[in-house]
């Protein structure tokens, strides 16, 4: 019994720190000999290969179980968000200094490239006021309804290439997020308000800010390759009194069952941005 | 290391010497003072004025608590462990991150604040718990205070006064009578049949006589000193002079010694510290590595810091300390039901790893009451029943000699039972009288029956009590036969003195002349009984001549007008403090469990040795060096010390031994008995055992044991007989004073060590699937799969109960047949355990989590390949129309909820895998099927609880916005199931390999 109570060899203790990295007497590196390392690494190689294989297999099964056209679940995106172009919630520019607003103009111009007539001429001219349903067609490639830049009239950038920025009456484009299969009920339109004592005149394009139902439903990136979202342009007809002030503008999708008053998601069916035009 | 110990010893010795010197000088000085002030008519004592001066100089006569570390420092220490520091850092980073976000005006997300608060709460709560544990076990000096008498009668200015005991000073004269506590260390000046109970100080079971003569150099041995805190058992007024007060008394020094001995760290504390350090180190390593990686990849400094924090939170097992504490307290509870109260939780495991038990004799191994053990009559030694419940065998009582002997024993006895004890079993009744008379009274009550009645029948005519000059006790009685008018003289006393007075001896009822042959027989018997460590008394009687001593004869005890020689010898009765019935079996069990039992006692070597042999500490056939020398008839020096298994060392011998010699003795003799040891020496013995690498348990009950109890890795005090000082110094208390309970403790300790291993393995495993999401998140830039708050929910909510339930697991093998674990080799957390948990089971769990994560992402529209590198856009607060794989556009909020879904899915995956994990952790070697799936009910309920809690978190309304849990689709619960099955099957294969091929590569690498 007494033999179990060996004294710790003090000599070993002093060199054990170095030995734990490399022990020249046994040839051990980090407590293992080369062959021991080889064996354990081989074991882990096999082990992880097996695991990786299993992971790959499950991923493969997962991916083949997915539909190419429609996501399996859409419960995280039941309602579309509303976004503006130019993509800035805090716009500020000097109407007489092109350098300040050129970025917005450029942004709008590039954004509207897809709405050029050259692109849109291939698309269908759909009947207005109705959903453009294509569920019954065998063809997986769905047709898209055309939305021409011209629909935006003064804000199309065709007549006024500065989108009104130079004259202090800037255009802002609004678009609803794409959601597959979304069919808003009622007649959706965009309504913007400025939180300010005196109301500000606004012009909507297309008229009354309507979003036509024919652009719904969306069939997904793969099936609906040429789909473009309907846009609504708002031209803020600012007057001298409104310059040099930060104006908070809120736009909402109205006239439908789409949510526009979610407490947590401030971009669900609505968008708030500030605009300040300096003279 | 050894040099240091040596130095310490030297220092101690030096200190001791100085103390002694001081003491001697002090004694002389005070003696002078007293003699000067002594007047012919008696003692006048000190003057009040002088006493006040001395009081000023020496301070009051009380035990001062040592200067300890302040409480707030102790508390702060609890908050500053390895893991705690890391968590503080993490919490600080969280606060900073939150502060910066707040400053930027971006307060959408309170996660960082929550996280910081939770982390701090975890640290503080565990800290409070630890502090409470420590607080409970440190209050040692208080118990010594209880020992100290409050009032004392002092003679000052020639007048007797009752004063508060702490007003006493050196040189004061005090008066003590039976029943008083001794108010300081005093030297007896006058005494009358004074006896003190030193058992708590020296371990001697019997009261010690105190007389004015100095009989020994050693203050502990000499007759003329009575010690602070002991009690005066009997004797009329005794006067003594105070030689030491307060902390300078023997008890004060023991108290200082006990409170000065640092609490040894328990083995489990060392183990936990060991691996907490490793984990903290690894956490910092991982955190720092990925901090650098993140900076290198191009993250902002703050972001990289947050990653560091997240990695720390993910990697540190926050719930582990709580789990360990709960597991230990469960075992403590279980032990409490078996009469072992554990004061210091960590001590639960210590017994399991104990390799040496240093046991006190009196009251621990023995019953702490003198009991008749043997009788010698008719030229035979008869063994009496010494068991506590009288279940043993009795001797043949048919002999006529026995009847005479019993009559002498019953009549020549002044002890009486206290009244109103009819219901109490005889051995437990309270008796008025000294130890040996008590033993005889109980013995005769058991064998003869109703002694009160018996004594009534033999009316006592006269009595001469025992005194130290005569060394015998005589009484004269009328006979119970009314026709027989003779008187009966009965006498008992020291055997040799009794024999001198006898001329005949009673053999089989016949009076035979006491010739050489009988004398020799008597001598042999006397030696034999003495050799057993027993106290022997001789008994004789004489029927007085009817004519010479007629009825009504006026016997005078002072003149002794009755014959005291020519008596008839009846027999010898020997007494011992017998071992408890359960002890030999318990010692045997300890031996099978590889634990060495060493006896360390304050009692005499012969008694100690006899008891040691009796209980099996010295086994049959083991010899000491002296025995071998005697057998071979060679001098002691020529005996090879290695041949002797047993060894008895007395305190005197021990004093002359160097610590190396003591180590050598402990190493070469497996069976050791230390007798006549002082408290200091007990400490030295314990230290020596610890130097040899043993985990030492010390059992004891006396105040003198308290330093050793404190020094030991685990001190075990006796609950009934134990002094408060011992109980306070101990880590564990045996409520039934039963040494056998220690065996239960050892078993439970070993079991909890095994089960803690399982719990920790279970707890550590999930840190990998918690960590990998961050690593992947940082390096591959996928949306974050698992949030910090979710991790905390796993660590502190769902996984606590299952990991605790493993503490209820039954032992896999007969743990009591194994040797105690070697603390240097059998670690709680070894490499194999960590590697297996982290790189194998943890890896499988990570894969399960990612499979489920990618499934949830893909099914919601985000294909795995799209996810890679998606992080910057995904987390861009200004990007409200991020396209998924199907062309749908998501707002930031929608993405955030998707991210929470991922957290939940990952959480569920870890939970499912952890269910499998808890099942495989039930055993380390056996198949789970052999262990039984449902035998551990708690574990089954823990799994159910885990699932219910998981469901509650997922599906309770409001969870998404408070704790980032989303109600996930049912099928995502089943995605990780194949991985769970894989874990189970893989571990069964591992265990099969371990069982089938012991010692193989597989066994070495994969058995933890």
A99-118 per-position pLDDT tens digit = 888 999 999 999 999 898 88
Selected for mutation to probe chain A from B887, B903, B960, B980 (highest A CB count within 10 Å) is B887
**Per-residue tokens: A85:** 């172009």
Q: What is the pLDDT of residue A26?
A: 75
Count CB-CB contacts under 10 A for residue B358. Answer: 28
Give the residue with greater pLDDT, B491 vs B255: B491
**Is B891's CB within 8 Å of A6's CB?**
no
Count CB-CB contacts under 10 A for residue B949. Answer: 17
Phi, psi of B404 (to 5 degrees): -65, -45
| Residue A8 with chain B: CB contacts under 8 Å | 693, 824
The pLDDT tens digits for A214-265 are 999 999 988 888 898 899 999 999 888 888 888 899 999 998 999 888 888 8
Q: What is the pLDDT of residue B146?
A: 61
| Residue A30 with chain B: CB contacts under 8 Å | none
**Is A220's CB within 8 Å of B886's CB?**
yes
Question: Nearest-CA residue of chain B relative to A68?
Answer: B886
**Is A81's CB within 8 Å of B891's CB?**
yes
Give the residue with greater pLDDT, B779 vs B142: B779
Q: What is the mean pLDDT of chain B?
A: 84
Say whether pLDDT at B20 is over 70.
Answer: no
- Long-range contacts of B217-226, Cβ-Cβ distance < 8 Å, separation of 24 or more: B219/B23, B219/B250, B220/B250, B220/B678, B223/B188, B224/B187, B224/B188, B225/B185, B225/B186, B225/B187, B225/B188, B226/B176, B226/B182, B226/B185, B226/B186, B226/B188, B226/B194, B226/B196
Selected for mutation to probe chain B from A56, A58, A78, A260 (highest B CB count within 10 Å) is A58
From B58, B185, B197, B360, active-site residue: B360
Q: What is the pLDDT of residue B909?
A: 96
Q: What is the pLDDT of residue B9?
A: 41
The pLDDT tens digits for B658-704 are 889 999 989 888 899 999 888 888 889 999 999 998 889 998 877 77
Q: Are residues B779 and B626 in contact, defined by beta-carbon separation less than 8 angstroms? A: no
Say whether pLDDT at B129 is over 70.
Answer: yes
Question: Nearest-CA residue of chain B relative to A1?
Answer: B670
Say whether pLDDT at B24 is over 60.
Answer: no
Interacting residues of B989 by C-beta distance below 8 A, sequence separation 6+: none
* 3-class SS string, A110-162: HHHHHHCHHHHCCCECCCCCCCCCCCCCCCCCCCCECCCHHHHHHHCCCCCCC
In DSSP notation, B465-512 reads ---TTT-EEEEEEE-SSTT---EEEEEEE-HHHHHHTEEEEEETTEEE
Give the residue with greater pLDDT, A7 vs B868: B868
B596, B854, B897 member nearest A59 (Cβ): B854
Average pLDDT over residues B523-550: 87
Say whether pLDDT at B394 is over 50.
Answer: yes
Give the residue with greater pLDDT, B688 vs B532: B688
The pLDDT tens digits for B753-811 are 999 999 999 999 999 999 999 889 988 999 999 988 899 899 888 999 999 999 999 98
Q: Which of B875, B757, B765 is nearest to B827 (CA)?
A: B757
How far apart, in Å, are the Cα atoms of B950 and each of B907, B912, B947? 8, 10, 5
| Residue A87 with chain B: CB contacts under 8 Å | 878
**Is B864's CB within 8 Å of A59's CB?**
yes
Q: What is the pLDDT of residue B136?
A: 61
**Is B666's CB within 8 Å of A2's CB?**
yes
B893 and chain A in contact, CB less than 8 A: yes
pTM: 0.81
| Residue B969 with chain A: CB contacts under 8 Å | 73
Q: What is the pLDDT of residue B142?
A: 58
Say whether pLDDT at B558 is over 60.
Answer: yes
Q: Are residues B665 and B672 in contact, defined by beta-carbon separation less than 8 angstroms? A: yes
| Residue A260 with chain B: CB contacts under 8 Å | none
Has B360 been annotated as catalytic? yes
| Residue B855 with chain A: CB contacts under 8 Å | 62
Say whether pLDDT at A3 is over 70.
Answer: no
Phi, psi of B880 (to 5 degrees): -105, 5
Q: What is the pLDDT of residue A173?
A: 93
Q: What is the pLDDT of residue B67?
A: 63
B667, B843, B901 member nearest A76 (Cβ): B901
Q: What is the pLDDT of residue B58?
A: 84
B2, B824, B889 member nearest A177 (Cβ): B889
**Is A221's CB within 8 Å of B883's CB?**
yes
Say whether pLDDT at B580 is over 80.
Answer: yes
d(CA B448, CA B453): 11
Question: Nearest-CA residue of chain B relative to A222?
Answer: B886
Percent of chain B with pLDDT strictly greater than 90: 24
Average pLDDT over residues B560-576: 87
Q: What is the pLDDT of residue B148?
A: 61
Least confident among B27-41, B424-438, B818-832? B27-41
**Is A1's CB within 8 Å of B881's CB?**
no
Say whether pLDDT at B886 is over 60.
Answer: yes
The pLDDT tens digits for A206-217 are 888 899 999 999
**Is B888's CB within 8 Å of A179's CB?**
yes
d(CA B90, CA B792): 13
Percent of chain B with pLDDT strictly greater than 70: 92
Question: Nearest-CA residue of chain A relative to B1?
Answer: A10
Average pLDDT over residues B37-59: 73
Question: Nearest-CA residue of chain A relative to B960?
Answer: A264
Strands B882-883, B416-417: parallel, antiparallel or unpaired by DSSP?
Answer: unpaired
**Is A268's CB within 8 Å of B861's CB?**
no
**Is B887's CB within 8 Å of A179's CB?**
no
**Is A59's CB within 8 Å of B692's CB?**
no
Say whether pLDDT at B858 is over 50.
Answer: yes
| Residue A2 with chain B: CB contacts under 8 Å | 666-670
Average pLDDT over residues B727-741: 83
| Residue B978 with chain A: CB contacts under 8 Å | 54, 58
Q: What is the pLDDT of residue A88?
A: 87
B851 and chain A in contact, CB less than 8 A: yes
Question: Nearest-CA residue of chain A relative to B2?
Answer: A10
Percent of chain A with pLDDT strictly greater than 90: 32
**Per-residue tokens: B334:** 């279980």
The pLDDT tens digits for A187-211 are 899 999 988 777 888 999 888 889 9
The pLDDT tens digits for B208-224 are 788 888 887 777 778 88
């Amino acid at each position: 019994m007494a033999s179990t109570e060996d004294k710790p060899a003090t000599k070993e203790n002093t060199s054990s720190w170095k030995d734990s990295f490399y022990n020249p007497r046994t040839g051990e590196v980090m407590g293992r000999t080369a062959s021991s390392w080889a064996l354990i690494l081989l074991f882990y190689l096999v082990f992880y290969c097996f695991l990786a294989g299993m992971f790959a297999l499950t991923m493969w099964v997962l991916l083949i179980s997915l539909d190419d056209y429609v996501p399996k679940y859409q419960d995280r995106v039941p309602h579309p968000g509303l976004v503006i172009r130019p993509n800035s919630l805090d716009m500020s520019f000097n109407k007489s200094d092109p350098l300040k607003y050129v970025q917005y103009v450029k942004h709008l111009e590039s954004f509207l490239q897809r709405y050029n007539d050259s692109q849109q001429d291939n698309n269908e001219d759909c009947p207005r006021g109705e959903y453009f349903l294509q569920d019954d067609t065998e063809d997986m490639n769905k047709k898209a309804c055309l939305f021409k830049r011209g629909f935006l009239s003064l804000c199309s950038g065709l007549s006024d290439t500065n989108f009104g920025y130079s004259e202090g009456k800037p255009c802002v484009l609004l678009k609803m997020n794409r959601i597959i299969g979304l069919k808003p009920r009622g007649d959706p339109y965009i309504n913007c308000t400025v939180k300010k004592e005196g109301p500000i005149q606004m012009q909507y394009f297309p008229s009354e800010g309507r979003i036509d139902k024919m652009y719904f439903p969306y069939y997904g990136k793969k099936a609906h390759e040429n789909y473009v979202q309907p846009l609504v342009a708002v031209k803020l007809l600012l007057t001298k009194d409104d310059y040099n002030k930060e104006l908070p503008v809120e736009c909402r999708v109205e006239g439908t069952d789409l949510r526009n008053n979610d407490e947590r998601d401030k971009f669900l069916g609505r968008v708030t941005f500030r605009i300040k035009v300096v003279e | 290391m050894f040099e240091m110990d040596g130095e310490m010893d030297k220092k101690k010795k030096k200190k001791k010497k100085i103390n002694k010197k001081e003491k001697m000088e002090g004694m002389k000085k005070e003696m002078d003072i007293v003699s000067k002030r002594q007047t012919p008519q008696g003692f006048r004592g000190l003057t009040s004025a002088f006493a006040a001066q001395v009081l000023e100089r020496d301070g009051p006569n009380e035990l001062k608590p040592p200067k300890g570390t302040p409480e707030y420092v102790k508390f702060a220490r609890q908050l500053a462990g390895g893991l705690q520091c890391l968590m503080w850092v993490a919490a600080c980073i969280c606060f900073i991150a939150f502060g910066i976000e707040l400053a930027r005006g971006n307060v959408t997300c309170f996660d960082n604040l929550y996280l910081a608060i939770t982390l701090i709460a975890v640290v503080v709560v565990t800290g409070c718990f630890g502090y409470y544990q420590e607080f409970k076990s440190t209050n040692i000096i208080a118990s010594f205070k209880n020992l100290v008498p409050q009032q004392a009668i002092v003679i000052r200015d020639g007048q007797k006064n009752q004063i508060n005991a702490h007003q006493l000073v050196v040189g004061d004269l005090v008066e003590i009578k039976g029943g008083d506590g001794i108010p300081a260390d005093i030297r007896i000046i006058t005494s009358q049949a004074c006896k003190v109970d030193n058992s708590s100080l020296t371990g001697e079971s019997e009261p010690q006589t105190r007389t004015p003569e100095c009989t020994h150099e050693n203050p502990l041995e000499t007759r003329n000193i009575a010690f602070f805190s002991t009690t005066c058992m009997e004797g009329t007024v005794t006067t003594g002079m105070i030689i030491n007060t307060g902390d300078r008394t023997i008890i004060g020094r023991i108290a200082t010694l006990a409170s000065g001995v640092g609490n040894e760290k328990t083995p489990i504390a060392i183990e936990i510290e060991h691996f907490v350090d490793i984990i903290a180190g690894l956490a910092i390593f991982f955190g720092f590595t990925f901090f650098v990686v993140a900076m290198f990849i191009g993250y902002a400094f703050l972001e990289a810091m947050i990653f560091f924090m997240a990695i720390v939170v993910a990697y540190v097992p926050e719930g582990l300390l709580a789990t360990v504490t709960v597991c230990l307290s469960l075992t403590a509870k279980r032990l409490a039901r078996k009469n072992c109260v554990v004061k210091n939780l960590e001590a639960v495991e210590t017994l399991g790893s104990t390799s040496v038990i240093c046991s006190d004799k009196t009251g621990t191994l023995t019953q702490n009451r003198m009991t008749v053990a043997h009788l010698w009559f008719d030229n035979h030694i008869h063994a009496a029943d010494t068991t506590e419940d009288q279940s043993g065998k009795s001797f043949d009582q048919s002999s006529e000699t026995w009847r005479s002997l019993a009559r002498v024993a019953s009549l020549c006895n002044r002890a009486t039972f206290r009244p109103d004890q009819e219901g109490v079993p005889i051995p437990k009744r309270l008796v008025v009288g000294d130890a040996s008379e008590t033993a005889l009274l109980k013995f005769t009550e058991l064998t003869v029956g109703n002694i009160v009645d018996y004594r009534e029948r033999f009316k006592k005519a006269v009595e001469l009590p025992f005194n130290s000059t005569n060394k015998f006790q005589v009484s004269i009685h009328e006979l119970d036969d009314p026709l027989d008018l003779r008187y009966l003289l009965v006498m008992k006393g020291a055997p040799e003195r009794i024999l001198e007075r006898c001329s005949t001896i009673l053999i089989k009822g016949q009076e035979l002349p006491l010739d050489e042959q009988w004398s020799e027989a008597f001598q042999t018997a006397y030696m034999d009984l003495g050799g057993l460590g027993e106290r022997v008394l001789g008994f004789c009687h004489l029927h007085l001549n009817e004519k010479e001593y007629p009825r009504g004869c006026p016997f005078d005890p002072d003149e002794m007008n009755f014959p005291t020689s020519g008596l008839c010898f009846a027999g010898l009765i020997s007494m011992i403090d017998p071992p408890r019935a359960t002890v030999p079996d318990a010692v045997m069990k300890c031996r099978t469990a590889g634990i060495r039992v060493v006896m360390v006692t304050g009692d005499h070597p012969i008694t100690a040795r006899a008891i040691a042999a009796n209980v099996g500490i010295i086994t049959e056939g083991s010899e000491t060096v002296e025995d071998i020398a005697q057998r071979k008839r060679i001098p002691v020096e020529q005996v090879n010390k290695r041949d002797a298994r047993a060894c008895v060392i007395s305190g005197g011998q021990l004093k002359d031994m160097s610590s190396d010699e003591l180590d050598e003795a402990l190493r070469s003799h497996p069976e050791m008995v230390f007798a006549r040891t002082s408290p200091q020496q007990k400490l030295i013995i314990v230290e020596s055992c610890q130097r040899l690498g043993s985990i030492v348990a010390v059992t004891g009950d006396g105040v003198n044991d308290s330093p050793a109890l404190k020094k030991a890795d685990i001190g075990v005090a006796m609950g009934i007989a134990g002094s408060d000082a011992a109980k306070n110094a101990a880590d564990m208390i045996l409520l039934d004073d039963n040494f056998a309970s220690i065996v239960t403790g050892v078993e439970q300790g070993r079991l909890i060590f095994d089960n803690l291993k399982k719990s920790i393995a279970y707890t550590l495993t999930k840190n990998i699937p918690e960590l990998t999401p961050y690593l992947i998140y940082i390096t591959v830039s996928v949306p974050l799969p698992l949030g910090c708050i979710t991790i905390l929910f796993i660590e502190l909510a769902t996984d606590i109960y299952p990991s605790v339930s493993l503490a209820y697991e039954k032992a896999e093998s007969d743990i009591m047949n194994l040797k105690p674990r070697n603390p240097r080799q059998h670690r709680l957390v070894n490499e194999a355990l960590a590697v297996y948990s982290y790189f194998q089971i943890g890896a499988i769990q990570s894969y399960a989590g990612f499979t489920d994560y990618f499934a949830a992402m893909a099914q919601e529209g985000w294909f795995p390949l799209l996810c890679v590198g998606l992080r910057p856009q995904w987390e861009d607060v200004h990007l409200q129309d991020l396209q998924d794989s199907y062309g749908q556009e998501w707002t930031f909020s929608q993405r955030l909820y998707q991210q929470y879904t991922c957290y939940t899915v990952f959480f569920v995956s870890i939970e499912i895998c952890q269910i499998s994990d808890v099942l495989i952790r039930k055993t380390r070697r056996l198949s789970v099927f052999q262990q039984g799936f449902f035998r551990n009910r708690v574990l089954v309920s823990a799994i159910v609880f885990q699932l219910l809690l998981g469901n509650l978190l997922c599906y309770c309304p409001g969870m998404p916005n408070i704790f980032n849990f989303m109600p996930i689709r049912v099928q995502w619960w089943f995605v990780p199931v194949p991985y769970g099955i894989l874990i189970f099957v893989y571990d069964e294969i591992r265990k099969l390999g371990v069982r089938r091929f012991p010692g193989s590569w597989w066994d070495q690498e994969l058995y933890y």
